[in-house]
Amino acid sequence: MSPSHESPERLPVRGEARGSHFDRSFGRGDERVVLTAHDPKWPYLFQREAERVREALGPVAVAVEHVGSTAVPGLAARPCVDLLLLVGDPADEGAYRPALEKAGYVLHYAEPDFHDHHVFKGPGVSSTLHVFADGPEPRRILALRDRLRADTEDRERYERAKRDLAERHGDSVQDYAEGKTGVIEEILSRAPEAGR
């Protein structure tokens, strides 16, 4: 089907021609990995974006959580606030995408083979919105956040790994993110709630 005949509920995103919505070049452009000290404004920026999302979606937004390193006091982070949005069915883009786009969010990519994960970039503030249905992956994301908030040693271990990866992969956000897998798995192995 040609792009001019696509329905507005199912607009193409980058990488679609390769059979997936995920563009492996995402995060490999001019963006560099720069970590900053924890900023006490991040929770307030999250609240502002969470209110924007809840107002746009109403009851479609099952939950909106602050996740990622900016959600962990004392942890250095890339200055981009991550939000986790739970919806009933992420594959049903028509239920949430038009409202998010009207609120200023832009779909960057979707991973239909990975829990129907959809990623939007937010308006104004540097923010990333991760859309999932309730399930194992969002529970792991929340378990990691909670473990890092609660355990100083794991938080320090994670920050050391992040700084090392930022030094080695500073020109590729994707390589930096993928490089954290080992330390994240190690930390989650000590978080019993991650297995639920």
pLDDT of 128 higher than 70? yes
Report residue 174's pLDDT band, with 50, 70 and 90 as the boundaries: confident
Encoding tokens for residue 9? 């509920």
Give all domains of the chain, ordered by start, each with its CATH number: 3-195 (3.30.460.10)
| Region for residue 179 given its phi and psi (left: phi exceeds 0; alpha: psi -120 to 50; beta: otherwise) | alpha
Long-range CB pairs of 54-58 (<8 Å, 24+ gap) are 55/103, 56/99, 56/100, 56/102, 56/103, 57/85, 57/87, 57/96, 57/99, 57/100
Does residue 122 contact residue 170 with C-beta atoms inside 8 Å?
no
Mean pLDDT of the chain: 83
pLDDT of 195 higher than 80? no
| pLDDT recorded at residue 159 | 96
pLDDT of 151 higher than 60? yes
Highest averaged pLDDT of the listed ranges 19-23, 121-125, 140-144: 140-144
| pLDDT recorded at residue 73 | 96
Selected residue with higher pLDDT from 16 and 40: 40
- Rounded distance, CA 89 to CA 55, Å? 19
| Over residues 86-103, mean pLDDT | 96
Of 139, 100, 141, nearest in space to 122 by CA:
100
pLDDT of 23 higher than 80? no
| pLDDT recorded at residue 100 | 97
| pLDDT recorded at residue 194 | 63
pLDDT of 28 higher than 50? no
pLDDT of 7 higher than 80? no
Selected residue with higher pLDDT from 171 and 130: 130
